[in-house]
Amino acid sequence: MKYTLLLLTLLSVTCGSKQEKPIASNGNDTTAETKPNIIIILADDAGYIDFGFMGSEDLQTPEIYTIAKNGTVFSDAHVSATVCAPSRAGLITGKYQQRFGFEANGTGGIGLSDDVPTMAEVFRKNGYNTYALGKWHLGSDESDQPNQRGFDEFYGFLSGSRSYFPLENPSEDNMLQHNGERVEFEGYMTDVLGDQSVKFAEQSDDTPFFMYLAYNAVHTPMDAKEEDLEKFKDHPRQKLAAMTWSLDENIGKLRSKLKDLGKLDNTLIYFLSDNGGAHNNDSKEGPLKGWKGNEFEGGHRVPFAVSWPAMLKGDQNFDGLTSSLDIFPTSLAAAGIEQPETLILDGVNLLPFLKGEKTGDPHEHLFWRKLDKSAARIGDYKTITLDGYGSVMYNLRTDLGEMDDLSKSEQAKFDSISKVYDGWQSQMIGPLWDEGETWMDICAHIHRRLMQNQEPDYKDPWSEAYKKRK
């Protein structure tokens, strides 16, 4: 689907010739001896156009660019939720998180459902070493923590946000830990996580590994190292530029180590953000409307690139409808692991599309729901609904910025999408927790204003306009 000239131009710019040449595919099969390493690199609250491979001209990301250059860039890729925790729940389980009640941010004191398998559990059962690094945000109870959800090693923190620098008396959720034991560190969190990713890659020796590398960059607080702030001292987005540079540097450390170990070519790397850019971290969404937390494209369409040099051609663009839910089944197929009959996934194996064996859209439709806000995508059309207020519908092929509401002028199309959405919703369960009255009120206000093509009066509880509202 070719949505806009801007998006096409953006993608063509990203695949220039200044980076290293991609390695062509050398076959389609893997064996027990050549099972690939699997790495998911998850950025946090990153803007849609805030990487070089997505057209950024002011943020420096050469290492991430190289991953994209040696792989495939997806122009119509989405996560399953517009906020951190449920998005991660969908990614790590390959299921719409509404199937197990995890649709609001936070974890509600409940966390990840005990009876839902994670990627790590399946890969560990099939001979992989499994590593989780960085932000977890899927539950703090012992049964929800990474070591109980399939990961041999966890080096990170349980909460959704914390300082990038050492904390004097951190809570159990905020402390940096290694398998439950507090780690006292010096320096900068992004560097610490990057260094540990290198150690885990070395530690795996000849055993294939699955690594979930969930950086908290570039989520607030906007903490950056002094030397990086100095590097970008005249930059209009100084802190974000410095934080993004550090993220890229540390991804480069891991790529360099994999290359030294002779593992880079046979490593399947995914790079994406967990949701759209936040309104308070200087991120940019480019042609997209909205941002983190709302159901417009800026909330759930994300930068997404996949690289596997030994098996897949590089320098590719793919414009089919794609989801982070696809990472689980694609990784199973890449590793030659047969999907258990009892494991029901909502994602699609992308390998046939990446190899050119299939064309078109991997998904006929995608759905989003966060409490009283929802969206449905079928083909080029997308509906957004705010319960108790109303709905809008857009043709994304001609209106990527979601400005021209067609819900009344194309009533039959709107009704058909609504019917399909209702069928999907009937298979889900209700949310097991919400986000509290304050945030629900603010998010409803944001949706009403954006549906009217107007700027919201406020975006968070700390806004003076919110405090002064009647």
Distance CA 319, CA 11 (A): 10
Name 399's Cβ contacts closer than 8 Å, sequence gap at least 6.
Answer: none
Same fold, 35-354 and 365-468: no
Angle at 140 (CA atoms; ends 147, 81), nearest 5 degrees:
95
Q: Structurally, what CATH architecture does the domain formed by 365-468 represent?
A: 2-Layer Sandwich (3.30)
Q: Dmax over Cα atoms in the chain, in whole Å?
A: 66
Report the distance separating Cα 455 and Cα 444, nearest Å: 13
Helix or strand or coil: residue 113? Answer: coil
Cis? peptide before 420, omega within 30° of 0 = no
User: Checking DSSP bridges between strand 77-78 and strand 72-74, what pairing results, if any?
Assistant: unpaired
Determine how β-strand 153-157 pairs with β-strand 129-135: parallel
Alpha carbon distance 228, 206 (integer Å): 36
- CATH superfamily membership of 35-354: Alkaline Phosphatase, subunit A (3.40.720.10)
Supply the pTM of this predicted model: 0.94
- Amino acid at residue number 397: R
pLDDT of residue 34: 87
List 306's β-bridge partners, or say none.
72, 270
Buried residues in 284-323 as b, exposed as e (16+ CB within 10 A)? bbbbbbbbbbbbbbbbbbbbbbbbbbbbbbbbbebbbbbb
**What tokens appear for 366 in the block?**
């995608």
Residue 470: what pLDDT?
59
Q: What is the mean pLDDT of each run of 10 residues along the chain (470 residues)?
A: 41 39 36 82 98 98 98 98 98 98 96 96 98 98 97 98 97 98 97 98 97 98 98 98 98 98 98 98 98 98 98 97 98 96 96 97 98 98 98 98 98 98 98 97 98 97 89
For 383, the token pair is 């509906």
3-class DSSP state of 154: strand
Single out the residue of 336, 308, 312 nearest to residue 32, CA to CA. 336
User: Taking the domains of the chain in order of start, what are their residue ranges?
Assistant: 35-354, 365-468
